[in-house]
Amino acid sequence: MDQSSSLKFLGSWADSHTHRVRLALKLKGLVFEYQEEDSVNPSPALLLHNPIYKKVPALLHDGRPVVESLVILQYIDETWTDDPIMHADPFERAIVRFWCHFADDKLGPAVGLVFSSAGEGQKAAVDQVHENLKLLERELRDGAFKGRRFFGGDNIGLLDIVLGCGSYWLAVFEEVMEVKLVDPDTFPLFHAWLRDFEEQKEVKETIPPIDKLLEHARGIRQMMLSLSTDTTTATTIGAPATGSTTSNNDAAVEEIGLLQESLVL
């Protein structure tokens, strides 16, 4: 593959949007330099290249920044045209873009809410995740993706990357929270797709090992729970805690917020 240009990629190791970009670069066989970012303390480079959102991922191509993971994925696909991750047909592209929007607009936030809530609120969040997964299951069974191995067809495509790079968090949360999110009986096709996706070589090389993710998630959940016991007014664990003044708590709240934002699948 001809790659005479330079690629640098700012990301965070546990961030699903970072994984999206990393996986796309890998699928395209592109070489890049990687810089790990601390979400709570963004580097000068990140602030320079993503001044509006100040978040990872940011892709620098010959020094020019592209930000927002979906924008980056399409940029990669349009710049390096071998091994396309988007279909050529406009209607197919529209379907994929729609479900990417759904993933970031509905499914991701619902999953994040499962993680950041408890009790009745969490039960409602779990129901919401199930409602959203049902829509995807139906599309896999009878709709736009019927009969396909991946959302992209025979190969991983944009929607697989977008949905897949957050979907391993479902298993992480199931374990940390002891809730059932992807029951193979209720969502057989989604479950089968996810297992297939996770077995792909490039995916295994991209997603961190599950024990590291579990440790990371448990740590954040602990912080959330300890924050909620510090106050009597936070209705959502991880909401800015009234009266929390220590910098540790501020950092924890910020980290939780950033994790929730990164949990858009």
Binding site for another protein (CB under 8 A): 52, 61, 64, 66-68, 70-72, 74-75, 78-79, 90-91, 93-94, 97-98, 101-102, 106, 135
Q: State the nearest-atom distance from the C-beta of 57 to another protein, in Å.
A: 13
Q: How many CB atoms lie within 10 A of CB 146?
A: 11
Q: State the nearest-atom distance from the C-beta of 80 to another protein, in Å.
A: 9
The distance of Cα 10 from the centroid of its chain, to the nearest Å, equals 15
Complex with another protein: residue 102 or 169, whichever CB lies closer: 102
Q: State the nearest-atom distance from the C-beta of 76 to another protein, in Å.
A: 9
Complex with another protein: residue 45 or 179, whichever CB lies closer: 45
Say if residues 116 and 261 touch (Cβ distance below 8 Å): no
d(CA 154, CA 65): 32
Complex with another protein: residue 64 or 201, whichever CB lies closer: 64
Q: State the nearest-atom distance from the C-beta of 99 to another protein, in Å.
A: 9
Complex with another protein: residue 136 or 224, whichever CB lies closer: 136
Q: State the nearest-atom distance from the C-beta of 95 to another protein, in Å.
A: 8
Q: State the nearest-atom distance from the C-beta of 105 to another protein, in Å.
A: 9
Rounded to the nearest 5 degrees, what angle is found at the Cα of 78, between the Cα atoms of 7 and 38? 40
Complex with another protein: residue 108 or 207, whichever CB lies closer: 108
Beta-bridge partner residues of 67: 58
Cis-peptide, bond into residue 188, ω within 30° of zero: no
Strand order of the sheet with strand 64-67? 33-36, 7-11, 58-61, 64-67
Residue type, 58: A
d(CA 152, CA 193): 11
d(CA 76, CA 69): 10
Q: How many CB atoms lie within 10 A of CB 235?
A: 9
Complex with another protein: residue 96 or 213, whichever CB lies closer: 96
